[in-house]
Amino acid sequence: ATGKEKWPRGDEKVWKEGLRGVDTDVTSITKSIVNHVQTSLARQAYNLDDLGAYQAAALSVRDDLIVNWNETQLHYSRKEPKRAYYLSLEFLMGRTFDNALLNLGLKEQYRDGVKALGFSMEDLLEQERDAALGNGGLGRLAACYLDSSASQELPVWGYGLRYKYGIFQQLISPEGQQLEAPDPWLDNQNPWELPRLDVTYDVRFYGTAERLEDGRASWHGGQEVLAVAYDVMVPGCYTKNTNNLRLWESKPKRGFDLNSFNAGDYEHAIESSNSAAAITSVLYPNDHTTCKLELRLKQQYFWTAASLADMIRRFKNIGKPISEFPDYVAIQLNDTHPTLAIPELMRILIDDEELPWGAAWQIVTNTIFYTNHTVLPEALEKWPVPLMEHLLPRHMQIIYDINLYVFKSPISFFLQAVEKKFPGDRDRLARMSLIEEGFPKQVRMAHLACIGSRKVNGVAELHSELVRTTILKDFVEFEGLSKFSNVTNGITPRRWLDQCNPELAALISKSLKVDKSVWLKDLEKLKDLLPFVEDKAFREEWAAIKQRNKERLAHHVQTTLGLTVNTNAMFDVQIKRLHEYKRQTLNILGVIHRYLTLKAMSAEERKKVNPRVVFFAGKAAPAYFIAKLTIRLIVNAARVINADPDTRDLLTVYFLPDYSVSLAEVLIPASDISQHISTAGTEASGTSNMKFCLNGGLLVGTVDGANIEIAEAVGESNVFFFGHLTPAVEDLRYQHIYHPVPVEEKCPALAKVLNTVSEGRFGDGGVYEPLLNTIRQGDHYLLTDDFDSYIGALAMVDQAYLDKDEWVKKSIRTTANMGKFSSDRAILEYAESFWNIEPAKVP
Ligand code: B1H
């Protein structure tokens, strides 16, 4: 194209007449669905099952999304606003169909249309597989932030990987062991993505980097693979703005240049893990433990390189000088996984754009932002230098150069500052260096992310303070406090209230006398529910909705597991990844304690006890032995407890297999109480805590993460706190190691529970010894310190639940005060204080 052609080609009127809009009436909708049955699916009314009907309806909604998506991209291209890019290795999107219908405001019309065609909306919604391209909170946060960006009309794109297999499917064996099966989520086709086979980039690995003059280098040889774009439409709520999530798939490059392969690289080229398609094959299922596999590093580079190349191409289209890159682009790193964006952008600016080092560094450090999500040492990413040198030789050079430039160069501004402040402090330099000494040496990705970024933030007040005072303390002293801030996480009220709890959403709209499109985008409006605390009829409706949500969950358990759940009981829920720091073990040991207490009661005493159903769900990393053993204990304890005629009316326990976003949508609205009981200082934020409270569930928790801010918002009288506080943790751990006290002495109630397990009350006790020993020896997560106060907090919950009316008041107050935790608030903080971007509403 010369750029001088007439646009559009042909007759503009003909083009305009051909354009489709968004269908909003039932007749057009059924027409469109039937059309897709007939043509896209090549099927007919007489051979259409629920899956086919879902696919046709989804394709019809997708047409609407495409219309809006196209308009949005055109609008952004014309307006040229500064854009932000959210780089995340995980996007835990869940299902799309229902969410898209609600955001488009077409749920009712589609319900009617589908019904007219002889299907039920509920059945069709169940046909969709979750897009489970994430492990847990970090990935779901990314999904919530995309929803909020689109809903707030912000020009934000997500960049991630299109894994062929998402998080593994969890099966539970008859012995109670977790088994893992692959999640082939793309097998039935995915109507929510647009393959962009024309949007591709070459990504290089291995090869050699030769230094040239002016700090530049030439990186050549090695292996090149192709990154292909798949676009996922992200509709905003009641707006045309429909943003993009671009996921990369790896493919072998055609026209492969065998000559560029030197003998040393040949071996790697034929390794199966080295095949191009392997790169985006599977999501790594470890959360909070870093693996040092070459393929994982390849994923990280493949994705950051393709994403940056795409951003540079888009930026170049607007024809501005490269020095203005930070005026048009902000890049948010979701944890350290995309930290290679820093040396990669340096490489592009220095080697391709031929900028001097200082100018390049200026651009990088004005463009990139870094969010930390954990202070657990085992989760901090470090890559062996030999692996980096082999896979990414040019990037390793750049990292060494950054290290010199920032910390040691005599011309460096930073060195002068360091020298002035800490003369001759060699230990400090060793602590701060990007390279950790050892065998092998390792690159500290959090340090690289920190010094290469404009801002660094944690995800809740306490966590951000811990980032400043522990893992990045030296950097705060070095660079000043102002670079380090906090953005407390949020959740989208569209999925986590309107979609998962439609009856509650309807009651809120009716009572506030405002359309849900208003309060869903301005969640502080929930405050206006407070006066209804005193309205008896409202309270009754509120309680009745909770009851129906409990019945919906019971129905789900009945149909999927064949188990009957007592819906007259209090529903107590803990759902999250299995991890020692999250202390599911504390919960199950507490359940066993309750069971033993009930067993010891007389029939008369038992009559006064309120029945309780305890739900667990969550996946363990496949190689995490202790976490898997916890699942086994939960499953086997449940089996014994649920079968005991003395207690089963008062206490039952369920481990629901294969936790997912969709399962969370059923569990959360049904909970009376949920547990967020991490050892103080270990859970960076937590986000399910927000989801439960938004749905009127109360919270039992430690003084940790966002629990603290939730309590501040809803009032401490509406949460049940227990356990030691963060400042005490370090000291308690020291005591465990140097002045150990036997559990029998320190916490007799817990000792009794541990012994009951050891003695084989829940199947072969020997099996659980390794788990029990983590408590008896070392007790890193302080179960022996917190057990008594935990049991005390649960007793307070029982006490409070006796007064049902007061409980409902607490529930209403909780929901009403959760406005702060909308991800709209969080994303606007990023947009305003970090990225400096503004809304760009599509007219
Ligand atoms: C969180 C992770 C995480 N923090 C490494 N860190 C991973 C680390 O695959 N990996 O290598 C995957 C995930 N995830 C969670 O982030 C925190 O534990 C939560 O407290 C927090 O709410 C969530 C979102 O900020």
With H, G, I as helix, E, B as strand and everything else as coil, classify residue 805.
helix
- 177 CA → ligand 1 middle, Å: 24
pLDDT, position 422: 80
- 137 CA → ligand 1 middle, Å: 6
- Summarize pLDDT for 698-744 with one digit per residue, the tens: 999 999 999 999 999 999 999 999 999 999 999 999 999 999 999 99
User: Does the pLDDT of residue 261 top 60, yes or no?
Assistant: no
pLDDT, position 254: 61
Distance, CA of 298 to chain centre: 21
Whether the CB-CB separation of 570 and 811 falls below 8 Å is answered with: no
Active site residue 576: yes
Q: To which H or E segment does residue 128 belong? A: none
- Does the ipTM surpass 0.95? yes
Q: Could you tell me the end-to-end alpha-carbon distance of the chain, in angstroms, rounded to an integer?
A: 29
Report in angstroms the alpha-carbon separations of 710 from 520, 718, 818: 19, 10, 7
Within 6 Å (CB) of ligand 1, which residues are found? Answer: 135, 137-138, 141, 284, 286-288, 290, 335, 373-374, 379, 459, 489, 683-687, 705
Report in angstroms the alpha-carbon separations of 345 from 44, 70, 447: 52, 29, 17
pLDDT, position 420: 72
pLDDT band at residue 268 using 50, 70 and 90 as cut-offs: low
**Catalytic site residue from 200, 280, 630, 687:** 687
If one residue of 88, 287, 692 were mutated to test the ligand 1 pocket, choosing by the most ligand atoms within 8 A of its CB, it would be 287
pLDDT, position 412: 62
If one residue of 296, 373, 576, 683 were mutated to test the ligand 1 pocket, choosing by the most ligand atoms within 8 A of its CB, it would be 373
pLDDT band at residue 6 using 50, 70 and 90 as cut-offs: confident
pLDDT, position 8: 83
pLDDT band at residue 260 using 50, 70 and 90 as cut-offs: very low
Nearest to 616 by CA among 660, 582, 576, 579: 576
Counting Cβ atoms within 10 Å, is residue 770 exposed (0-12), middle (13-18) or buried (19+)? Answer: exposed
pLDDT, position 1: 46
- Summarize pLDDT for 673-697 with one digit per residue, the tens: 999 999 999 999 999 999 999 999 9
Give the list of residues 6+ apart from residue 839 with CB closer than 8 angstroms, or none: 152, 153, 154
User: Does the pLDDT of residue 414 top 80, yes or no?
Assistant: no
Helix, strand, coil shares of the chain as percentages rounded to 5? 55, 15, 30
- 686 CA → ligand 1 middle, Å: 9
Dist. CA 259–CA 381, nearest whole Å: 35
Report in angstroms the alpha-carbon separations of 674 from 285, 570, 668: 25, 11, 9
- Domain ranges in the chain are 7-79+96-127, 81-93+130-384+445-487, 539-828
Please tell me the CATH superfamily of domain 81-93+130-384+445-487, with its number: Glycogen Phosphorylase B; (3.40.50.2000)
Whether the CB-CB separation of 665 and 94 falls below 8 Å is answered with: yes
Dist. CA 610–CA 568, nearest whole Å: 9
Higher pLDDT, 406 or 160: 160
pLDDT band at residue 2 using 50, 70 and 90 as cut-offs: low
Whether the CB-CB separation of 26 and 75 falls below 8 Å is answered with: no
- Atom 19 of ligand 1 has which residue's CA nearest to it? 686
The 3-state secondary structure of 558-588 reads HHHHCCCCCCCCEEEEEECCCCHHHCHHHHH
pLDDT, position 681: 98
Q: How big is the chain, counted in residues?
A: 843
Report in angstroms the alpha-carbon separations of 650 from 140, 287, 600, 603, 609: 34, 35, 13, 12, 7
- Summarize pLDDT for 288-309 with one digit per residue, the tens: 888 899 999 999 999 999 999 9
Q: To which H or E segment does residue 829 belong? A: helix 823-829
- Summarize pLDDT for 333-361 with one digit per residue, the tens: 999 999 999 999 999 999 999 999 999 99
Dist. CA 226–CA 351, nearest whole Å: 21
Q: What is the mean pLDDT of residues 117-133?
A: 98
Nearest to 146 by CA among 70, 65, 64, 237: 237
Distance, CA of 41 to chain centre: 33
- Summarize pLDDT for 750-786 with one digit per residue, the tens: 999 999 999 999 999 999 999 999 999 999 999 999 9
Q: What is the mean pLDDT of residues 241-246?
A: 98
Helix/strand number for the chain, H first, E second = 36, 24
Nearest to 37 by CA among 13, 54, 21, 22: 54
Class of the CATH domain delimited by 539-828:
alpha beta
Does this chain's domain 81-93+130-384+445-487 share its CATH topology with 539-828? yes
Nearest to 299 by CA among 88, 136, 84, 577: 88
User: Which of 101-105, 270-274, 494-498, 740-744 is predicted least confidently?
Assistant: 270-274
Active site residue 577: yes
For the entire predicted model, the pTM comes to 0.96
Active site residue 373: yes
The atom number, within ligand 1, closest to the CA of 373 reads 4
Q: What is the mean pLDDT of residues 487-492?
A: 98
User: Which of 238-247, 410-419, 422-431 is predicted least confidently?
Assistant: 410-419
pLDDT band at residue 255 using 50, 70 and 90 as cut-offs: very low
C-alpha dihedral, 300 to 301 to 303 to 308, nearest 10°: 130
Dist. CA 171–CA 164, nearest whole Å: 20
User: Does the pLDDT of residue 463 top 80, yes or no?
Assistant: yes
**Catalytic site residue from 36, 347, 373, 516:** 373
pLDDT, position 411: 55
With H, G, I as helix, E, B as strand and everything else as coil, classify residue 309.
helix
pLDDT, position 258: 54
Query: What is the rounded average pLDDT for all residues in the chain?
Result: 95
